[in-house]
């Protein structure tokens, strides 16, 4: 396949191919080219430039985008899209005044999802996750991370990870799998926490490695879930199988999750609704990326992570959807973009960088995704009207993405 897309009003997100992220003040800028073309061969960007320098006598098939503007597809570095059932009954309980933690203590929350998932076969889980993924792609996501963590026993966790690998085999976008067996202590291990951690480390992890079912490991390091000491123990066992950590941290309190993640060499620490000076100082002295999930703050009514302060202090920040049935049942990174601007005071350009280039670093896919640069995948979104990165977060609740190209081919849901 060899194509040249012409008649592009503007290309946003044309970073040098070697640039893996932007930090601090750099996040305010997004490079663009006006009146442009983009050449694609075998799914990758070969070259791009302005129309007055369009290569002549090129044998590539031409596709005229007729004045549309484009940007790289979004990278969603934190999702839980494999689940058995929605949890709108818990939503009603929260509306009536009960907190997420109270509902979890009464057998709702993650445990509720686990009980339902254990009774659901692989094909049913696959079909439901695939339809969620099609919805995400239609809203502009062209690279995604998916976690296990609603199984909480050996067979159910492996089944979830097989579903994720099956999604990766059947969809044209890059999909990374994260083992989140340490999402909660299942009821049968309530009085034997160490027994469950041993099950994760000695039974499930070797089987994951044997079948190559995961790229990362995750632990919910927070109040009522796993302690920093337990988190480090699980990360160490996973490192023995080559899995790098991405940690759920500081959603429910100042619980040492950020520090544990940094100590374990995590690629990212995610959530961060409770983040103060100690956590920010710790991140500044690390290569661990902060990932905020404003859909969860919005939906649960909990604080938003202090991303404004993190950027002002010079950090590179990332935004993700946390798409899951309990705390963030929304597939759209355009909505996340809007929440980041309206509620966390990020500029539209900063939030754009946080769901494209920086998000690709948080998933270790910078060589393939996150910007429209020669050598990377030709995954891009087509928008109509006046080119503007502000219109998307401003005009919220609307899908601005007209067409999605994956590897230079239009994606049909």
> Closest approach of Cβ 353 to Zn ion, in Å?
22
> Closest approach of Cβ 132 to Zn ion, in Å?
15
d(CA 178, CA 50): 40
Residue (332 or 373) nearer to Zn ion, CB: 332
Q: Are 38 and 45 in contact (CB under 8 A)?
A: yes
Q: Which segment (191-199, 207-215, 303-311, 318-326) binds Zn ion by CB under 5 A?
A: 318-326
The token duo for 13 is 């997100």
Residue 322 contacts Zn ion per CB under 5 A: yes
> Closest approach of Cβ 347 to Zn ion, in Å?
26
What are the percentages of helix, strand and coil residues in the chain, rounded to 5? 40, 20, 40
Using CA atoms, how far residue 328 sits from 18, 161, 246, 291, 342, in Å, is: 33, 21, 18, 15, 17
> Closest approach of Cβ 182 to Zn ion, in Å?
12
Residue (153 or 322) nearer to Zn ion, CB: 322
The crossing angle, in degrees rounded to 10, of helices 348-355 and 333-344 is 140
d(CA 145, CA 82): 11
Q: Are 237 and 245 in contact (CB under 8 A)?
A: no
Residue 279 contacts Zn ion per CB under 5 A: no
Q: Which segment (258-266, 322-330, 333-341, 343-351) binds Zn ion by CB under 5 A?
A: 322-330
Residue (48 or 152) nearer to Zn ion, CB: 152
- Beta-bridged to residue 179, according to DSSP, are 217
Report residue 393 CA to chain centroid gap.
18
d(CA 150, CA 112): 9
Residue (153 or 273) nearer to Zn ion, CB: 273
Residue (240 or 303) nearer to Zn ion, CB: 303
Q: Which segment (26-34, 304-312, 314-322, 390-398) binds Zn ion by CB under 5 A?
A: 314-322
Q: Which segment (148-156, 208-216, 320-328, 396-404) binds Zn ion by CB under 5 A?
A: 320-328
Q: Which residue is closest to Zn ion by CB?
A: 322
The token duo for 81 is 């899209």
Residue (248 or 376) nearer to Zn ion, CB: 248
The torsion angles phi and psi of 117, rounded to 5 degrees, stand at -65, -40
> Closest approach of Cβ 124 to Zn ion, in Å?
22
> Closest approach of Cβ 78 to Zn ion, in Å?
6
Which residues sit at the interface with Zn ion, rule CB under 5 A? 322
């Amino acid at each position: 396949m060899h194509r040249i897309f012409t008649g592009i009003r503007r290309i946003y997100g044309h970073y040098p191919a070697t640039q893996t992220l932007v930090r601090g003040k750099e996040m305010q800028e997004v490079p663009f080219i006006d009146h442009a073309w983009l050449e694609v061969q075998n799914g990758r960007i070969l070259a791009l430039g302005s129309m007055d320098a369009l290569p002549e006598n090129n044998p590539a098939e031409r596709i005229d985008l007729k004045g549309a503007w484009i940007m790289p597809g979004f990278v969603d570095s934190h999702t839980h899209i494999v689940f058995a059932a929605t949890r709108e009954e818990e939503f009603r309980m929260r509306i009536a005044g009960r907190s997420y933690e109270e509902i979890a203590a009464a057998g709702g929350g993650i445990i509720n999802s686990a009980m339902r998932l254990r009774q659901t076969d692989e094909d049913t889980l696959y079909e439901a996750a695939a339809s969620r993924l099609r919805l995400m792609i239609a809203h502009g996501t062209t690279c995604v991370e998916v976690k296990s963590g609603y199984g909480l026993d050996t067979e159910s966790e492996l089944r979830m990870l097989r579903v994720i690998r099956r999604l990766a085999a059947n969809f044209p976008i890059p999909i990374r799998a994260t083992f989140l067996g340490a999402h909660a202590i299942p009821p049968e291990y309530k009085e034997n926490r160490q027994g469950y951690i041993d099950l994760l480390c000695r039974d499930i992890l070797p089987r994951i490695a044997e079948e190559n079912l995961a790229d990362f490991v995750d632990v919910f390091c927070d109040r009522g879930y796993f302690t920093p000491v337990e988190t480090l123990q699980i990360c160490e066992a996973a490192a023995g199988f080559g899995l790098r950590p991405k940690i759920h941290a500081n959603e429910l309190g100042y619980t040492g999750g950020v520090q544990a993640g940094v100590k374990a060499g995590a690629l990212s620490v995610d959530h961060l609704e409770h983040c103060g000076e100690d956590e920010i100082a710790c991140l500044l002295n690390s290569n661990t990326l902060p990932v905020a999930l404003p859909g969860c703050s919005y939906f649960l009514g909990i604080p938003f992570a202090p991303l404004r302060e993190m950027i002002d202090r010079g950090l590179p920040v990332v935004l993700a959807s946390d798409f899951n049935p309990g705390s963030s049942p929304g597939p759209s990174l355009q909505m996340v973009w809007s929440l980041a601007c309206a509620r966390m005071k990020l500029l539209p350009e900063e939030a754009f960088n946080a769901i494209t280039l920086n998000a690709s670093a948080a998933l270790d896919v910078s060589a393939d995704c996150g910007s429209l640069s020669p050598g990377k995948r030709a995954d891009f979104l087509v928008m109509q009207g006046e080119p503007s990165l502000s219109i998307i977060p401003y005009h919220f609740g609307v899908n601005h993405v007209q067409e999605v190209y994956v590897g230079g081919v239009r994606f049909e849901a």
